[in-house]
Structure 1
Amino acid sequence: QKVANALLGTAADWLRGRGLEVIRGPASFSTNEQAALLVEGFDRPATIMMPYNPDYYEDLIANAGFHAAMDMVAYYLDNNIPPDFMLKREERLSKRLDISLRTLRKEDFSAELDRVLYVYNKAWEENWGFVPMTDAEIRFMADELKVAVMKDPEQVIFAENAEGEPIGFALWLKDYNQALIKVRGRLFPFGILKVLKHSKHIDMGRVLTLGLVEEYRHKGIDSLLILRIFREASAKGIAAGEFGWILDHNYPMRRVIEKLGSKVYKRYRMYDRDLNPSV
């Protein structure tokens, strides 16, 4: 605890000296990237681009003067046949709504990033902890994911209105952590070959993000996107997946996921600490 207090106290002093009033974390550097502390679900390994930490970190942070600011949850989904009512709803909605779904166009990658950026900043702008994503930021993140999504463009799904304008998107990825865990962090000299070998047998995925611009919410389009993910993932041998994280109070999205029979299997937490507490 002494070491944690010293480390976090030094960070607090540095921020306080620059006029800031609250320290929030953990995050690197915002909720647009990896963020939060795992507080429930230590029995399962982290999926791709999700944090993992020892369970005692929670006490270290709380005892250093931090309090819970927001919880996030992750759901576990078996990629089995969706319930009949979802399939019937999909057919009905597809006929009634004048929208279409499509996967990433590899030949138009730069423009596709523009579409993602547009939807992301509109769809998430009212979310807790939201920080607008910049063009430079999304292109940096795209460089990290480009190999995966260009290999399997079905991992990016767009929803468009009748005019062809983007109104939503979803991003899911194969859980490459299943392959990386086999080499225990040792990529060289032969680890990379093992990763390539085990990548062929990945059977789990993660839905990183799914969002719609406000005027197209509550119409069932989110269900259509999820069902499309089911189909694309199943075609690639994915038998199960993680959906998250989702803000704890995002009940509309949580209800959609829970209708599939899924349950929360991990919980994450962001913390705040007042840098100038009143005496």
Structure 2
Amino acid sequence: RGYVKEVDYVEFKITVPDALPEKVERLTALIKRRSSVKVFNETSTKALAKKWGHQVFDVLNETYKDLYGTTLLDEEEISYYIKAYLGQVDPEFIKLAVDGDKLVGFIIAMPNLSRAFQKAKGRLFPFGFIHILRAMKKSKILDFYLAGILPEYQGKGVDALMTYEIGKSAFKRKMEFAESNHELEDNKKIQAMWKLYEKRLHRRIRVYHRTLGT
């Protein structure tokens, strides 16, 4: 017997609208009136990492723990990722959802740097970093990396609040498209984040398995 499908991952390309759709504005206003959850972004990577870093990865572990292929991050790995990556992001595209002082959800996205790395030929020095810095401010594509919402807050509009805020940031930067990360094809909760926006499925990745003979 040959290889057979295990799971499919899908990716979506989402159009950044010229103006946020009226139905998005209405829904967001309704959720804000009914919910105690607030969405914001820190203005510095230092504050993001120091105050929220561990909570972000705790929410990540809790969100992903039952998904196919997930291995939970331990404290050593969390500390490494905070130090290695959270200091390099653009805080405007890290949206944090809080209920009081408790982090209940987050989105991590970044301007697409693919063309910048091509222009830099994979080297930061002596001048490659200039292309990277320019792309951080001028890229027309926003890449979504991670998103998480605590299970007890799922289905309560937190995803809509976060995508609304990140949509405003993308619009302000004059971005044209956003691209989702790999999403399990049957993960309807994460795909619901894009339901109010124009989008198309533009990439499918398949995992195969094969049973070996004994």
The CA distance in 1 between the partners of 2:141 and 2:135, in whole Å, is 12
Structure 1 residue aligned with 2:38:
100
SS in 2 for 1:148: coil
The CA distance in 1 between the partners of 2:77 and 2:210, in whole Å, is 27
Q: Does 1:248 align with 2:185?
A: yes
Contact 1:179 1:199 in 2 (8 A): no
Distance 1:277 1:186, change over 3 A: same
**For this pair of structures, how many residues does the alignment match?**
211
Contact 2:111 2:141 in 1 (8 A): yes
Q: Does 1:277 align with 2:213?
A: yes
Structure with more contact order per residue of length (Cα contacts < 8 Å, sep ≥ 6): 2
Give the partner amino acid of 1:140: Y
| Structure 1 unaligned residues grouped into runs of 5+ | 1-62
SS in 1 for 2:181: strand
The CA distance in 2 between the partners of 1:164 and 1:236, in whole Å, is 29
Contact 1:117 1:135 in 2 (8 A): no
Structure 2 residue aligned with 1:201:
138
Distance 1:187 1:115, change over 3 A: closer
Structure 2 residue aligned with 1:167:
104
The CA distance in 2 between the partners of 1:84 and 1:186, in whole Å, is 44
Structure 1 residue aligned with 2:23:
85
**1:86-144 deviations in whole A, cap 9, x for unaligned?**
11000010011111112136336233111112111111111111111122223323333
The CA distance in 1 between the partners of 2:76 and 2:120, in whole Å, is 32
Distance 1:108 1:90, change over 3 A: closer
Displacement, 1:197?
A: 4.6
Structure 2 residue aligned with 1:133:
73
Structure 2 residue aligned with 1:221:
158
Distance 1:198 1:86, change over 3 A: closer
Moved over 6 A (4+): none
SS in 2 for 1:85: helix
Q: Matches of residues 1-279 of structure 1 in structure 2 within 5 Å?
A: 66-80=3-17, 81-104=19-42, 106-107=46-47, 109-149=49-89, 152-161=90-99, 163-274=100-211, 276-278=212-214
Displacement, 1:147?
A: 4.2
Q: What is the alpha-carbon root mean square deviation over aligned residues?
A: 2.3
Indicate the percent of aligned positions where both proteins have the same amino acid.
22
SS in 2 for 1:244: coil
Q: Given the two structures, how large is their TM-score scaled by the length of structure 1?
A: 0.68
The CA distance in 2 between the partners of 1:99 and 1:176, in whole Å, is 32
Larger radius of gyration: 1
**1:197-244 deviations in whole A, cap 9, x for unaligned?**
555431111111222111111111111111111112222332211012
